[in-house]
């Protein structure tokens, strides 16, 4: 039975609340309906806490599922993030209520399992062994910068991250953070707990609790600031970033007894599948290029790009496939003032969960970071008008790879030989650049020159233009 006030506030109020959320991923699609599929009660009384799982339907007949942790109090007692009012009860976003957020942490600390008998389902809340969570209550503040989730900082000690859009299966962030935390990898905010739904509807990770890492800024901000003030400052830390990245990959590849993490030898057609996928993306991107000055350097060169890719697709072995970060760039690392911390292990939010969990070459992460260097250099020029030293991006790449490769090469994860590694890296960079091209054309045409420059650079590189030696 769904709590009465929730049932009475009606579809429209829910639809309105969902579509206002910054985490709502389908802003351009027409919503034809919203309904509550399950609403297990985590706390009775006032304030009450209900975890509503709602279905949002679209006009093509598809749908998405979202998590809404909702608070309930007598009307007039709360006015932030209100969804609606019914039966003298105000229903609101529970993640704005310190008491209810603390309640979630308390339930994790207890290792609570809450049955939802109507749905033959339960919510499990767990703490990591040895997490030693304090009882609270905690003061809270929003983390900001939310995308597909909502993060709340508790007393500058913990971060609760609730996944808004839900997909069946284990969230890769929970898997990766748990794995890295259990193995003592120091450069992540350690996992402290999580909560998950398990029932007829599906099994899904709802959220995680992790340590709060006080950081000066994220890698993107650090690089921008350094470019404006002293370009050498970032370069001096780029090698360490490469090392940390390498150590992260080394840890993720370290357990061959866990099927979710065991490194895999690529199958005969892995390279073919990879290049076919990227080739389709290139074809699609180039098929619909608009007339735009910034696109001139690559206009009409789609076939050349595909040809470059084809050259690589005849190349030798791929190296092993491992679990990796999946959406790695400067915005996903924090600079603490003395070291790097890696965050956000959800993978690319636009890709379906089975794809985000897939093992692939570690070089995908490396390519993501290298592309990020190109971005930050241009962003610095565009946004701050600061001239970036011409060789800055190249030096950042060298520093990063200089830190990364020595850590990873002895592990047998990469293709044999630097030349082959460079070629495969170029393939992943091309994949990223083509993805960026489509993204910028859709969202930020003024940034299009960044992926364009990246594609030109790759076209002129040895990797994609020189025939591959057998």
Nearest approach in angstroms of CB 374 to other proteins is: 27
Q: Which stretch binds other proteins (CB under 8 A): 13-21, 60-68, 379-387, 421-429?
A: 60-68
Could you tell me if 38 and 119 are in contact, meaning their C-beta atoms sit under 8 angstroms apart?
Answer: yes
Please give the size of the binding site for other proteins, defined by CB under 8 A: 39
Task: Map the footprint of other proteins across residues 299-328, applying CB under 8 A.
Answer: 306, 310, 313-314
Q: How far apart are CA 188 and CA 365, in angstroms?
A: 16
Please give the DSSP secondary-structure letter assigned to residue 264.
B
Q: Is 268 in the site for other proteins (CB under 8 A)?
A: yes
User: Which three-class secondary structure state does DSSP give residue 327?
Assistant: coil
Residue 343, burial from CB neighbour count under 10 angstroms (0-12, 13-18, 19+): buried
Task: Map the footprint of other proteins across residues 196-215, applying CB under 8 A.
Answer: 199-203
- Residue recorded with tokens 């993805």: 435
Nearest approach in angstroms of CB 56 to other proteins is: 13
Nearest approach in angstroms of CB 287 to other proteins is: 7
Task: Closer to other proteins by CB, 312 or 450: give it.
Answer: 312
Task: Closer to other proteins by CB, 149 or 275: give it.
Answer: 275
Q: Is 352 in the site for other proteins (CB under 8 A)?
A: yes
Nearest approach in angstroms of CB 350 to other proteins is: 14
Query: What would the two tokens of residue 199 be?
Result: 């029932």
Q: Per-residue x/- mask for other proteins, residues 16 to 35, rule CB under 8 A? A: --------------x-x---
Nearest approach in angstroms of CB 355 to other proteins is: 8
- Residue recorded with tokens 């193995």: 183
Ramachandran region of residue 130, left (φ > 0), alpha (ψ -120 to 50) or beta? Answer: left
Q: How far apart are CA 341 and CA 187, in angstroms?
A: 5
Could you tell me if 91 and 84 are in contact, meaning their C-beta atoms sit under 8 angstroms apart?
Answer: yes
Task: Closer to other proteins by CB, 32 or 46: give it.
Answer: 32
Nearest approach in angstroms of CB 288 to other proteins is: 7
Give the strand order in the sheet containing 113-116.
113-116, 121-127, 191-198, 203-211, 158-163, 149-154, 140-142
> Under the rule (CB under 8 A), what is the footprint of other proteins?
30, 32, 59-62, 65, 167-169, 199-203, 267-270, 272-273, 275-277, 279-280, 283, 287-288, 306, 310, 313-314, 352-355, 357-358
């Amino acid at each position: 039975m769904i709590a009465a006030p929730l049932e009475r506030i009606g579809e429209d109020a829910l639809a309105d609340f969902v579509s206002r959320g910054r985490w709502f991923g389908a802003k351009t699609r027409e919503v034809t309906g919203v309904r509550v599929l399950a609403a297990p009660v985590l706390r009775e009384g006032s304030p009450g806490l209900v975890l509503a799982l709602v279905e949002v339907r679209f006009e093509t007949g598809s749908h998405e599922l979202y998590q809404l942790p909702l608070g309930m109090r007598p009307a007039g007692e709360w006015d932030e993030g209100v969804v609606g009012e019914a039966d003298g009860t105000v229903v609101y976003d529970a993640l704005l209520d310190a008491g209810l957020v603390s309640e979630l942490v308390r339930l994790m600390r207890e290792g609570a399992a809450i049955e939802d008998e109507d749905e033959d389902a339960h919510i499990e809340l767990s703490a990591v062994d040895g997490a030693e969570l304090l009882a609270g209550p905690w003061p809270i503040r929003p983390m900001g910068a939310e995308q597909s989730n909502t993060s709340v900082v508790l007393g500058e000690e913990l971060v609760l991250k609730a996944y808004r859009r839900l997909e069946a299966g284990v969230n890769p962030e929970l898997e990766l953070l748990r794995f890295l935390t259990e193995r003592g990898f120091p450069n992540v905010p350690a996992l402290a707990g999580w909560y998950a739904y398990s029932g007829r509807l599906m099994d899904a990770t709802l959220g995680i609790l992790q340590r709060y890492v006080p950081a000066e800024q994220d890698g993107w901000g650090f690089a921008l600031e350094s470019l404006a003030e002293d370009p050498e400052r970032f370069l001096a830390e780029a090698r360490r970033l490469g090392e940390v990245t390498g150590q992260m990959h080394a840890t993720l590849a370290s357990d061959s007894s866990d099927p979710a993490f065991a490194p895999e030898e690529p199958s005969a057609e892995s390279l073919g599948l990879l290049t076919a996928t990227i080739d389709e993306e290139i074809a699609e991107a180039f098929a619909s290029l608009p007339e735009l000055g910034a696109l001139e350097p690559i206009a009409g060169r789609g076939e050349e790009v595909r040809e470059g890719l084809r050259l690589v697709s005849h190349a030798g072995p791929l190296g092993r496939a491992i679990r990796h970060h999946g959406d790695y760039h400067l915005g996903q690392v924090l600079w603490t003032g003395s070291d790097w911390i890696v965050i956000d292990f959800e993978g690319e939010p636009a890709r379906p969960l089975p794809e985000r969990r897939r093992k692939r070459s570690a070089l995908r992460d490396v390519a993501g970071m290298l592309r990020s260097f190109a971005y930050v250099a241009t962003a610095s020029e565009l946004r701050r008008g600061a001239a970036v030293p011409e060789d800055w991006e190249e030096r950042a790449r060298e520093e990063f790879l200089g830190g990364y490769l020595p850590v990873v090469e002895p592990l047998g994860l990469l293709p044999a030989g630097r030349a082959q590694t460079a070629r495969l890296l170029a393939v992943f960079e091309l994949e990223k650049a083509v993805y960026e091209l489509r993204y910028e054309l859709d969202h930020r045409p003024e940034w299009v020159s960044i992926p364009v420059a990246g594609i030109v650079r790759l076209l002129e590189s040895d990797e994609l233009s020189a025939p591959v030696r057998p």
